[in-house]
Structure 1
Amino acid sequence: MKNLRTHGKSTIVWLLMGLLILGLGGFGVTSFSGGSTEIGAVGETRVTAEEYARALRNQMNAYARQTGQQLDMAQAQAIGLPQAVQAQLFTGAALEEQARRIGVSVGDDRVRQSIVEAEAFRGPNGNFDRTAYAEVLRRERLSEAEFERNIRGDEARLLMQRAVTGGVVPPEAMVRQTAGWLLETRDLAWRELTEDQLPAPVAEPDQATLEAWHAANADRFTAPETRRISYVWLTPEMLADEVDLDEAALRAVYEDNIAEYRQPDRRIVSRLVFPDQAAAEAAKASIDAGDQPFEAFVLQRGLSLEDVDLGEVTQADLGAAGEAVFALDQPGVVGPVQTDLGPALFSMNAILEPVEIGFEEARESLRAEAAVDRAARMIEDRSSDYEDLLAGGATLEQMAEETPMQLGQIDWSADTPAAERSIAGYQAFRDEAARVTESDFPQLFALDDGGVFALRLDEVVPPALRPFEEVRDEVAADWRRAEVRRQLLALAEEHEVQMTAAPLPTPAPAAPGDVASRVATPTSTPDRTAEAEAEDRADPAAPDADAAEADWTTEAGLRRDGWIEGVPPELVQQAFAMQPSDEVEVVDAGDRVFLLRLDAVHGADLGDEEAVQVIEAVRSRLGDSLQSDVFDYYARAAQLQGGLELNQAAISAINAQAQ
């Protein structure tokens, strides 16, 4: 029903739930199309220009809140927002016209209740605030009488809507059939064909074959659009060698980060709190006896190991438990120990030795870190000078001559790897490289490590087929993959034909009440002659029923939404597209080829607990869908009966003012 209400011209939905959002200033709509203040009508029920402008504005604001960006009218029209708003308004008008014709209305008490309960009109104490009510209506350019009239109309429309859809329920047979379809399981078997099963190795292609493949599959060997970009950049690492750091500065950095160089004994510990002392003692006894590990009690409490992990802790961090935990010379469990949260067991998982790194030992790493930090501050201080040079018309080449910035050039595309120690490894550069145009003047941009760069687009190289000589190895590899796949599919077809044609034993009749329909599987011939075995050795490519059956992998009780590790989803999808039969099907999953066999189809047991939950979910979903359809048909009929009129000039005028 909640979804269905969006079809109506619901002032309650649009107004009460959205009035206090920023940006609710009006479009200033006063008159349209020579003074008309209506965009249309259904019978005697009019849709005013103010209603349309307000509804359109609120929908655009709602979109902006959801996406984080403002929506202009061109974008709104591109996604069909004005048309959706109009459909809602005229659907609401059709319902209101039907209510007027048959005399459906609501009393003053219901109108008052709707207003008092509206969130938009509540004050700081959570109760209805008359001042807030008046202020909201003032912003929306509505008088109290007009707003209350709209509320009365909304309530009448909702009564009509409930009357139309209230008795619509899905047929029970449809619900159970849908649930049965969802919960059906299947037993299947598959066999993957690989290159080593081909009757002969794949021959090496000649030059003509590869050149023809290169031409026929040009899209695979076409270089993307490339942007030839010149740039200058400067990173802290580039300036690090120029930074002069004295002994006092290094010692200051060492002392500021002393916690990294001097650390006491630590332990990696987990803590599990119990509701009472008896439960904690029982758990400790079970752990000591080897009946259950500490982790089992964590899971029994509905927790994960991450929930009880305290990480690296010192003895002081553990309080009363510190002495017992640090007395362990290997991982173990101590307790129960009384804590602020209750009695707890502590699991000591690892011992971390103390860290003691002296200043002399840390000097080199300190110097590198401090130099980079100081260089980043130097770049920040000089950035304004670099910006002034670029603003004054300095070229990138001049920047490289007059500043420490380094000049470079790159042929960049979206496929360019983000390599470390390369400017292409910075996301800021990649963003600007994709955006820059040939008419843009270079400007300074920041890198995330404290560096800066500027760039210039020199040339855009359109997509082009890469020369055969350049990509010969790629062409050969691509041709070989395709040829292996082609031969595997042909081999699979041979297996499929032979296994389908082979006589199969008649399956035993299912027991009464059995929910599974079984499919007989190919079986090997028990007595094979020496001549047949000799023929197989002479032709190793010939499908062998015995060997094939041994190579099948089986999966029982697979659900429609299930998956099999290491197997492409196409195989599962095909298994549920097959009909119970004796046929074996070929599954082409890109570079992999399978033979697939459906062994059994198990109907769902609609009486178990999971099935009951699925049935209820299906009933709710189908009910919502049917109610939506019925309401949609009723609304269309109501519009036809009432006579729908549109004032396109007024609609266009509002859209234009909303730009």
Structure 2
Amino acid sequence: MAKAGKTRNFFVWIIMGLLFVGLMGFGATGLSGTVRAIGTAGDKPIAAQTYYLELQNRIASASAQQGRQISFPEAEAQGIPATALQVVVGQRSLDDEAADLGLSVGDRVISEQVLANPAFRGLDGSFDRAQYREALSRSGLSVREYESTLRDQATRAMVQGAVFTGIPAPLTYAETLAQFSREGRTFTWAPLADADVEVTLPEPSEEDLQTHYEANPDLYRTPETRQIRYVWLTPDMIQDDVPVDEDELRAEYEARLEEFQQPERRLVERLVFSDEEAAAEALAQIEAGETTFPDLVAERGLTLNDVDIGDVTEAQMDDAGPAIFAAETGDTVGPFPSDLGPALFRMNAILAARNITFEQALPDLREDQAAARARRLIEDQIDPITNLLAGGAQLSDVAEQTEMQLGEITWTTEVTDGIAAYASFREVAAATDVGDFAEVEELDDGGLFALEVTDITAPMVPPLDDIRADVIAGWEAEATAQAIVDEAEARAAQLREGLEFAALDLDAVQETDLTRRGFVNGTPPTFLTEVFTMEPGDVRVLDNTGGAIIVRLDEVTAADDTDSAFAAEVASIAESTSQGIAQDIYELYTRNIQVNTDVNLNQAAINAIHSNFR
């Protein structure tokens, strides 16, 4: 809990800094005029700057998530201003409650935060009172206003911390969950397929086929089919005809020289020690066969990924370079100095030098440049093609007047070749209806396309006579699967009577102490769920995609509560649950405070802030 508290304090400091930076930006480019507050929560004014900044941040976050700058009307439609207003009102309601309770932080805390802010430091790096006042003045704040804001933030954090640190860890709950998740099962199972069973099927009667056909419509329903006419143009279609400049190719080769010219390298791992004596002793143990480099890494609580320094040149390794490059694969050398202290180095692989001449690289360079130019040429055609379509041109007209190629496709969601290999084409094809106007769209490789849907055939189940062969095959598959299950049930009955799997000619596998998180290859997703509902000695037959599985539960193993992994899981569950409970309590607490706080809002002031975003 202490660690969690320190983490929260750390984030409070970050929030303080970000708050000041945000307020500075607000005062410089945001709200202007005399609007200072948008209302009150109890006796606390709700600062206009606070609402502006909250709204600005939420719009920026939504824009980043959508990959574009959203407009303010879009933000309103998504409820962003309402959410931002609710947040700032809730914060000030909590500030008002803290004031009623007599809670506050001392001047010393505020002083420490002000002195720690780098925005208030002079050229010598120390706090500069003149710089402090000037910075606040530029942001439209007085010293009193800014320090009052800091005090409210710190007091609010103190209230939040009191809630979060007051929730005990639910150890009984955590131990119960850990016992459940780490409980094991030992069981024996064997698959049964058509190759293991002699199945002789009769000729299906008309009644058999009709019954199967009516019971399994999804097996025979055709997907929605769309007849699509389209035009498209990709860089591959034109890049062979695009001229390239050899001088530009040479310049490109020089710019990418590190890609074509590389010295010999080594893949290396580095383990740092406190002093050279400890490193030398570790190397001696490795050479004597008493330990290994991976064992030394594991003793530190590290993984090999933690000590991997990637591929390096001899020059990059300074004093260690010659020894590393003279070592055989798997050798450990050292100790040698490093930026972090004396270290041992293990050499894992040799990467040969690369020396690709301009002439050797020329085909790839020419292809890259031609493709890039082709993409630019295609991009230049977007507006002309858009104008043609907007003027009423048919797709065939576009193909005649441009380099785009005309094509047709019978498309379903299962078709993914040709132009349908592009995700953007499939998305537009699925969303377009008959009669919709064709629009220019972009392909993933820089190409263009436009399409029109000429006909849509809805999903349907064809008449039995039209798919008789498919229905017969489906009936045979269903009958075969049932015969396998019947045979599995017969053998399972013999297992229940005391026979063993081998005596029944079953190729059995025993799994030991598998937990609910385990996985057994060759079994359906629900297999382990079924196993964990069985009692020791139970034998069951489970379906397995046209076959069957016979499984017998041999033993139930309780979780080992003395295992360190068990203790770690209990601690993790207890911590996350405690935090979740605390968060719920805090939200209920703040909601109750807000409901019981007299809130008055100035809609004109709120509208004035909104006008800055329009």
- Cα 1:60–1:345 shift into 2, 3 Å: closer
Q: Report whether the alignment pairs 1:459 with 2:458.
A: no
CA distance in 2: counterparts of 1:600 and 1:66, whole angstroms: 50
Q: Out of 570, 574, 577, which is 1:619 matched to?
A: 574
Distance in 1, matches of 2:46 and 2:306, equals 60
The C-alpha deviation readout for 1:499-544, integer Å capped at 9, x for no partner, is: 66x5xxxxxxxxxxxxxxxxxxxx33xxxxxxxxxxxxxxxxxxx8
Distance 1:181 1:129, change over 3 A: farther
Where does residue 529 of structure 2 map in the other structure? 573
Deviating more after overlay: 374-383 vs 585-594? 374-383
What is the CA–CA distance in structure 1 between the aligned matches of 2:459 and 2:119, rounded to whole Å? 60
Partner residue in 1 for 2:564: 609
Shift of 1:209: 5.3
Matched pairs, number? 575
Answer yes or no: is the 8 Å Cα contact 1:233–1:407 preserved in 2. no
TM-aligned CA distance change 1:46 to 1:547, over 3 Å: farther
1:273/1:345 contact within 8 Å kept: yes
The amino acid of 2:563's aligned partner reads: D
Q: Do the aligned partners of residues 206 and 350 (structure 1) sit closer, same or farther apart at CA in structure 2, a change above 3 Å counting?
A: farther
In structure 2, the residue matched to 1:559 is 515
Which residue in 2 is equivalent to 1:411?
410
Distance 1:99 1:582, change over 3 A: same
Structure-2 change in CA distance of 1:122 and 1:567 (3 Å): farther
1:222 is matched with 222
State the distance in 1 between where 2:591 and 2:306 align: 57
The secondary structure found in structure 2 opposite 1:17 is helix
Question: Which residue of structure 1 lines up, in the alignment, with residue 419 of structure 2?
Answer: 423
Cα drift, residue 304 of structure 1: 6.9
TM-superposed CA distance for 1:169, in Å, is 0.5
Distance 1:548 1:232, change over 3 A: same
Contact 1:63–1:71 (CA<8 Å) still a contact in 2? yes
Distance 1:651 1:15, change over 3 A: farther
1:166 alignment partner in structure 2:
165
Q: Distance in 2 between matches of 1:14 and 1:28?
A: 24
Distance 1:338 1:153 in 2: 55
In structure 2, what residue type is equivalent to 1:102? L
Give per-residue Cα distances to partners, 1:517-575, cap 9 Å, x unaligned.
xxxxxx33xxxxxxxxxxxxxxxxxxx87745965422112233232334344222333
1:457, distance to aligned residue in structure 2 (A)? 1.4
SS at match of 1:464: coil
**What amino acid maps onto 1:189 in structure 2?**
T
Structure 1 residue corresponding to 2:552, chosen from 597, 600, 618: 597
CA distance in 2 between counterparts of 1:171 and 1:305 reads 34
Provide, for residues 157-189 of structure 1, a one-character-per-residue CA deviation record: whole Å limited to 9, x for no partner.
333344444332134433433333333323233
Matching of residues 345-360 of structure 1 within 5 Å: none
User: Do the aligned residues in 2 keep the contact of 1:568 with 1:589 (CA within 8 Å)?
Assistant: yes
Distance 1:102 1:323 in 2: 70
Distance 1:344 1:402, change over 3 A: same
Aligned partner of 1:194 in structure 2 is 193
In 1, Cα distance between the equivalents of 2:395 and 2:492? 66
Q: Which amino acid aligns with 2:530?
A: Q
Alpha-carbon shift at residue 655 of structure 1 (Å) = 11
**Superposed displacement of residue 397, structure 1:** 2.8
How has the CA–CA distance of structure 1 residues 120 and 395 changed in structure 2, closer, same or farther, with 3 Å as cutoff? farther
Kept in 1: contact 2:333–2:345 (CA 8 A): yes
User: 1:99 — aligned with what?
Assistant: 98
Instruction: Pick closer, same or farther for the CA change 1:636–1:18 going to 2, 3 Å.
Output: closer
Measure, in 1, the Cα distance between the counterparts of 2:311 and 2:323.
13
Q: Where do 1:342-381 residues align within 5 Å?
A: none
Name the structure 2 match of 1:148.
147
The CA distance in 2 between the partners of 1:604 and 1:321, in whole Å, is 49
Residues of 1 paired with 2:33 and 2:480: CA distance? 69
- Report if the CA contact (8 A) 2:385-2:440 is conserved: no
Do the aligned residues in 2 keep the contact of 1:168 with 1:623 (CA within 8 Å)?
A: yes
- Distance in 2 between residues matched to 1:471 and 1:169, nearest whole Å: 66
Does the 8 A contact of 2:5 with 2:161 survive in 1?
A: no
Checking the alignment, whether the CA contact within 8 Å between 2:235 and 2:374 is kept in structure 1 is no
> CA shift at 1:155, angstroms?
3.2
Structure number with higher helix proportion = 2
Deviations 1:574-597 (A, max 9, x none): 333x26454334545655643443
Runs of 5+ consecutive residues of structure 2 not aligned to the other structure: 298-302, 315-319
Q: Which residue of 1 aligns with 2:317?
A: none
Q: Distance in 2 between matches of 1:374 and 1:635?
A: 62
Matches within 5 A, 1:259-274: none
* 1:221-370 mapped onto 2 (5 Å cutoff): 221-224=221-224, 226=226, 228-233=228-233, 236=236, 240=240, 303=304
Secondary structure of residue in 2 paired with 1:465: coil
What is the identity, as a one-letter code, of the residue corresponding to 1:224?
E
Describe the shift of the 1:192–1:572 C-alpha distance in structure 2 as closer, same or farther (beyond 3 A). Answer: same
Query: Does structure 2 conserve the Cα–Cα contact (< 8 Å) formed by 1:223 and 1:466?
Result: no
Aligned to 2:109: 110
8 Å contact 1:225–1:463 — kept in the other structure? yes
* Residue 477 of structure 1, CA deviation: 5.2
SS in 1 for 2:566: helix
Structure 1 residues 144 and 71, CA gap change in structure 2 (3 angstroms): farther
Quick check: 1:270–1:346 contact (8 Å CA) kept in 2? Answer: yes
Instruction: Tell me the secondary structure at the aligned position of residue 526 of structure 2.
Output: helix
Structure showing greater radius of gyration is 1
With structure 2 as the length reference, what TM-score do the two structures score?
0.67
Alignment CA distance shift 1:198-1:312 (3 Å): farther
2:378 and 2:70 mapped to 1: Cα distance?
Answer: 39
Give the whole-Å Cα distance in 2 for the aligned partners of 1:490 and 1:333.
56
1:391 aligned partner: 387
Is the Cα contact below 8 Å between 1:268 and 1:349 reproduced in 2?
yes
Q: 1:172 to 1:323 in 2, by over 3 A?
A: closer
CA contact (8 A) 1:272 1:346 kept: yes
The whole-number CA distance in structure 1 between the counterparts of 2:441 and 2:95 is 61
Give 1:536's aligned residue.
none
Counterparts of 1:74-85 in structure 2 under 5 Å? 85=84
Secondary structure of 2:512's counterpart equals: strand
Contact 1:192-1:594 at 8 Å conserved across structures:
yes
State which drifts further: 14-23 or 630-639. 14-23
CA offsets, 1:273-328, max 9 Å, x none? 89889789979978xxxx899xx757866647995886999xxxx99689989xxx
Report the Cα distance in structure 2 between the residues aligned to 1:369 and 1:334, rounded to whole angstroms: 39
Which residue type is aligned with residue 627 of structure 1?
A
Counting aligned pairs with the same residue, the percent is: 22
Structure 1 residue 228: deviation in Å? 0.7
Q: Distance in 2 between matches of 1:77 and 1:592?
A: 56
CA-atom RMSD in angstroms: 6.1
Q: Which residue of 1 aligns with 2:300?
A: none
Contact 2:104–2:155 (8 Å) recurs in 1: yes
The aligned amino acid for 2:151 is: R
| 1:181 match | 180
Looking at structure 2, the residues matched to 547 and 398 of structure 1 have their Cα atoms a distance apart, in angstroms, of 75
Would the aligned equivalents of 2:266 and 2:325 in 1 still touch at CA under 8 Å? Answer: no
Deviation at 1:602, TM superposition (A): 2.3
